Amino acid sequence: MTWTPITESEHSHERRGLATILERLPSTSPWRAWSNFEFPATGAKPFEIDLLLTTPSGLHMIELKAWSGSVDVETDHWIQTAANGRRIDHGNVLELAHFKSMLLMKQLQRAGEAAIVRTGVCFTDSRVHLNLPALNRRHVHTVDELVSRLSRPTHDARHRMPPDRVERIEEALATFALPHRPRD
């Protein structure tokens, strides 16, 4: 797998999660990965991208979560219940990931490459228990599920990633992908 970490992650759990996913993916074309970068958004703070992949099934933006315990949805908010019983409201993680994918797609278009960006959330801790509605679960994966999903070829020509398209995506990213800056 050709992997370009735009910025090395400052978090050990994120580095482990990226390594766990990327070591299981092929190193042949169209497989390519970029991790830990930001891109500007008009009128907003830059958005962070954990992992962007070109695969046989298209271009995928993956939000990584190293949560433990269980995850439930209550009134459209993702609630993590830790092993000690502490509940953490994370808002709507999938909705934010879809929003970032749409903005990233627009940035790619402005840079000259029209590509559909598929969205996913990957839980990298295999012990997490996911209690998500089926509609959410379609875009939420464990590492094993993500690897399987990414490996499936697409029958939709709009998603295919021939080598020249992967190269154009890389060139487009070079025009706007910024190193991730830690937030205070």
Domain count, the chain: 1
The whole domain housing 135 covers 2-179
- pLDDT surpasses 80 at 42: no
Residue 157 included in any domain: yes
Contacts of 118 (CB under 8 A, 6+ apart): 57, 58, 59, 60, 61, 101, 159
List the beta bridge partners of residue 41: 44
Report pLDDT for 45. 84
Residue 160 included in any domain: yes
State the pairing for strand pair 58-65/44-55: antiparallel
pLDDT bracket for residue 181 (50, 70, 90):
confident
Residue 184 included in any domain: no
- Give CA separation, 156 vs 28, 40, 61, in Å: 20, 29, 18
Residue 117 included in any domain: yes
Residue 35 included in any domain: yes
Residue 46 included in any domain: yes
CB 64, CB 51: distance < 8 Å = yes
Residue 22 included in any domain: yes
Q: What percent of the chain has pLDDT over 70?
A: 98
Residue 110 included in any domain: yes
CA atoms in the 13 A half-sphere facing the CB of 23: 6
pLDDT bracket for residue 183 (50, 70, 90):
low
Least confident of 42-51, 78-87, 132-141: 42-51
**CATH number of the domain within which 111 lies:** 3.40.1350
Average pLDDT, the chain: 93
